[in-house]
Amino acid sequence: MFQGTVSTALPRREFYHELTEQARGLLAGETNLVANSANLSALLFNAMPDVNWAGFYFLVEGELVVGPFQGKPACVRIAMGRGVCGTAAQTRETQLVPDVHAFAGHIACDSASRSELVVPLVMPDGAVLGVLDIDSPLPARFTEEDRDGIEAIAAVLVATLAPAGAVL
Ligand code: SME
């Protein structure tokens, strides 16, 4: 049984160092995308304070489709370039949004969400696999330390996948 916990009293960089190590251990030896993204969403949702949604959208035939997540049921499909997730996937750049109400085109899946962090998942060959999306009910919940930490954890997931990419 997985017993991991990370103290939220740790400074944020140390918190993410520990959480990244736990993610590495949790996903070690498994290459299945659904299994690893499901476990990773559960790890993040349970370890991170003040988070109301943590999960994945995967790029399928040019559109983002919801994948494994923790939180309330979410929008199923998001067009490339739309919302925070579609913007992260299209630009291949992490979107750190302190106030979702101020982000033009934000898609409100859970009206409780006030801030959001979305990291693109880019395969070694440059293909966009999808995004990792984390939402908070607190405004400005995410800092640059969260961005760096979640980018490192997203890289752990990408590294577990077979070089040829995942079959969805
Ligand atoms: N808010 C996201 C949509 C996904 S949900 O938050 C789970 C967006 O604007 O892309």
For residue 165, pLDDT over 90 is answered with: no
What pLDDT, in 10s, does the model give residues 96-136? 999 999 999 999 988 999 999 999 999 999 999 999 999 99
Residue 52 within a domain? yes
Residue 95 within a domain? yes
Residue 54 within a domain? yes
Tell me the one-letter amino acid at 136: S
Give the separation between CA 48 and CA 141, rounded to whole angstroms: 11
What pLDDT, in 10s, does the model give residues 1-51? 676 789 999 999 999 999 999 999 999 999 999 999 999 999 999 999 999
Residue 6 within a domain? no
Range of the domain at 90: 12-161
The reported pLDDT for the residue numbered 109 is 87
Burial of 139-159, coded b for 16+ CB within 10 Å and e otherwise, reads eebbeeebbebbebbbebbbe
Q: Which atom of ligand 1 is nearest to the CA of 135?
A: 6
Residue 62 burial (CB < 10 Å; 0-12/13-18/19+)? Answer: exposed
Strand positions, DSSP E, the chain:
53-60, 63-71, 77-79, 95-97, 115-122, 128-136
Residue 85 within a domain? yes
* Ligand 1: residue whose CA is nearest its atom 5: 109
Average pLDDT in the 78-104 region? 97
The reported pLDDT for the residue numbered 5 is 83
Output the CA 149–ligand 1 centroid distance in Å: 20
Count structural domains, the chain: 1
The reported pLDDT for the residue numbered 130 is 98
| CATH code for the domain of 29 | 3.30.450.40
Residue 93, SS3 per DSSP: coil
Residue 3 within a domain? no
Q: Which atom of ligand 1 is nearest to the CA of 109?
A: 5
Output the CA 138–ligand 1 centroid distance in Å: 15
Output the CA 17–ligand 1 centroid distance in Å: 26
Residue 2 within a domain? no
The reported pLDDT for the residue numbered 49 is 96
Residue 167 within a domain? no
What pLDDT, in 10s, does the model give residues 145-159? 999 999 999 999 999
Q: In the structure, which protein residues have their CB atom closer than 6 angstroms to any atom of ligand 1? A: 53, 74-75, 78, 83-86, 106-107, 109, 113, 116, 133, 135
Residues 7, 12, 13: CA angle, nearest 5 degrees? 110
